[in-house]
A = this chain, B = another copy of it.
Amino acid sequence: MEKILRVNMTTKEVKVEPVPEKYAALGGRALTSRFVLDEVVPTCDPLGPFNKLIFAPGLLSGTSAPSSGRLSVGSKSPLTGTIKESNAGGISSQKIANLGYKAIIVEGQAPTGEFYVIKITPAGAELLPADNLKGKGGYDTVAMCRAKFGEKAGVMFIGPAGEMLMANAGVGTNDGEGNASRYAGRGGLGAVMGSKGLKAIVVDSPSTFDVPLKDAERFKAAAKKFSKILLDHPVCGSGLPSYGTNVLMNIINEAGTLPTRNFKFGRFDKASNVSGEKLAEIAVARGGKATHACHPGCVMRCSNVYPMPDGKVCAPIEYESAWAFGPNLEVGELDDVAMLNWLCNDIGLDTIETGATLGVLMEAGLIPFGDGKAAIKALEEVYTGSPLGRIIGSGATFAGKLYGVTRIPAVKGQAMPAYDPRSCRGNGVTYATTTMGADHTAGYAVTANILKVGGFVDPLKDEGQIELSRNLQIATAAVDSTGFCLFIAFAVLDNPEGLPTVVEMINAMYGTDLTIDNVIALGQSVLKTEREFNEKAGFTKADDRLPEFFYNEELPPHNTRFTLKDELDEVFNF
């Protein structure tokens, strides 16, 4: 990965640049965040000409390291105004890395209404008009790109929401079968892509696992060892490959921290109807799959393929999506959840934010709670760009403010995911303080709070949550830089061999001599880079708080409030 691809949408210049020395040791999130800090004016308009959109495979993407095919997308977010890194699975990251690109930087803006495709192959990169793709949904976009550019192509795309510059538009990618349903969904990066006039990046490469390694034998041994570490762990090796991420539905419900009816209750009486177990049963009965890999070389295979009654296929339904359209809306019908999820994939919207938006609109009385069909009808409006469609496509905070709703479950403009912060307080600390706006992946304290992975910290008490979230945020920032799926964390937290083996793979690949301390320092450095950008963009500790109602409303069944305030400022004391 010795070069950078820089595409200027104003001048249409496509340029290959060498990698500056200071970026050589960075990948994934570490690289996108560094580029954003170095090249984007923090106070710029996220949809204006001075923002940039950066794609970067992780440090180990394109190798045989198991589950290392995540792609980071970075920019200034139109949803939050903060720096943003959102990463996704799918097949593109490995292909980009195998073509030798460390990053793709998209800058400038095409004239409004013009859309283009960047085509990247071993022969080089070029910018092509995308006229026939304009207005197409995610499924058609991927199908048309594969038909035109090759069935094995990786496609990074936006749907109509991104073209219409909606603040909750995501950047989609496809899996190996062409399902258009992996999303770097959070933070509206699809709107940034739309504002550049970029409909898709199509990448094809003859190889998947063949990026150059300094010491191939050493690498192979470490990768093999790491596969075993993953497969030996009950979550990574059994739970995820059986029921996918939605195995969490019943667990989180049982724990009383499943946000229900827009974060009014912590349990949902129909949770089992939309659980991973139920999903697997229906999916298999209909000829779908209960387990599926989003990219080659993943051993956890937490995806699924869910056929719907009308013949459409939603692949996958993740836990957070099932939560967003299920318990959060009091919808207990899995086919409704699947349809809402399918629509998001096609329109090009983040599912978590969309579910939260519909929840807020239900809170406002616009749609009845529990009415999945009404929610589907409302979501379909986004295609049309109608006023209601715009509201839904712009996320929970905009929607809530437009309707005078004070119960908006969001931090820094981004909606909270599927764990109530009052009864999973470590996640609450992460939501409040992460550089990204409310985000579970940024410091997934569900591990120690609920799953008892990496120790146990009582989810209903404040003690230990700051430290837990801090350590997880640092570790996550490092993991997000490697290309590894975050789910390796379950094994890494429990198995003392985990982290050293990750470091061993990096050293074998790059000929470096890193230690675990270096990896922790990398994570810290990523967070500091992101905090610096946010501070320059105008964020302060006043933004590092949960919404008022989490401090004032008790959440059943544990009848607990969130109580951490000034302590939150200690998270970044490192």
Contacts and interface: CB of A to CB of B under 8 A. Distances in A.
Given A390-B403, A404-B195, A542-B43, A548 B48 contact: yes
Interface residue range, chain A: 35 or more
A402 interface: yes
A82 to B, nearest CB: 12
Contacts of A543: 538
A391 interface: yes
A60 interface: no
A42 B549 CA distance: 15
A47 B403 CA distance: 11
B406 A48 contact: yes
Interface stretch (A86-94, A163-171, A265-273, A293-301): A163-171
B402 A390 contact: yes
User: Which label, helix, strand, loop or mixed, suits the secondary structure of the A interface?
Assistant: loop
A386 interface: yes
Interface in A524-548: 536-543, 545, 547-548
A45 B404 CA distance: 10
Nearest to A544: B538
Nearest to A552: B49
Contacts of A195: 404, 406
Interface string A413-456: 00000000000000000000000000000000000000000000
A311 interface: no
Given A390-B391, A402-B394, A404-B166, A542 B537 contact: yes
Contacts of A548: 44-45, 48, 50
Interface string A29-42: 00000000000001
A435 to B, nearest CB: 15
Interface in A400-416: 401-404, 406
Given A540-B540, A548-B45, A402 B391 contact: yes
Nearest to A539: B538
A398 interface: yes
A387 interface: yes
A541 B538 CA distance: 7
B401 A394 contact: yes
A542 B538 contact: yes
A391 B387 contact: yes
A388 interface: yes
A109 to B, nearest CB: 10
A42 to B, nearest CB: 7
Contacts of A547: 45
A191 interface: yes
Contacts of A542: 42-43, 536-538
Contacts of A539: 538
Interface in A38-70: 42-45, 47-50
Contacts of A538: 539-543
Interface in A516-574: 536-543, 545, 547-549, 552
A379 B195 CA distance: 28
Contacts of A549: 48
Nearest to A388: B387
A541 B403 CA distance: 29
A549 B49 CA distance: 10
A544 to B, nearest CB: 9
Contact of A387 (B44, B47, B387): B387
Given A43-B545, A386-B387, A542-B537, A401 B48 contact: no
Contacts of A387: 386-388, 390-391
A165 B78 CA distance: 24
Most buried by B among A45, A191, A537: A45
Contact of A398 (B48, B50, B402, B552): B402
Given A48-B549, A394-B402, 9 more contacts: A45-B406, A47-B404, A48-B406, A167-B402, A194-B404, A195-B406, A387-B388, A391-B402, A398-B398
16 contacts: A48-B548, A48-B549, A165-B404, A166-B402, A166-B404, A167-B401, A195-B404, A195-B406, A386-B387, A387-B388, A387-B391, A390-B402, A538-B539, A538-B540, A538-B542, A538-B543
